[in-house]
Amino acid sequence: MILIAIGSNLKSSLHGMPEKNCLEVIKILRKYFFVVNVSNFYKTEPIPKSNQPWYVNAAIEIKTNLKPKDIIDKLLFIENQFGRIRKQKNEARVIDLDLLCYGNLKINKRNLIIPHPRLHIRKFVIKPICDINPLWRHPILKIKAINLLKGLANQKIFNINSHYG
Residues annotated as catalytic are: 84, 93, 96, 98
Q: What Rg, from alpha-carbon coordinates, does the chain have?
A: 15
Does residue 71 contact residue 35 with C-beta atoms inside 8 Å?
Answer: no
Sign (positive or negative) of CA dihedral 108, 136, 119, 6 = positive
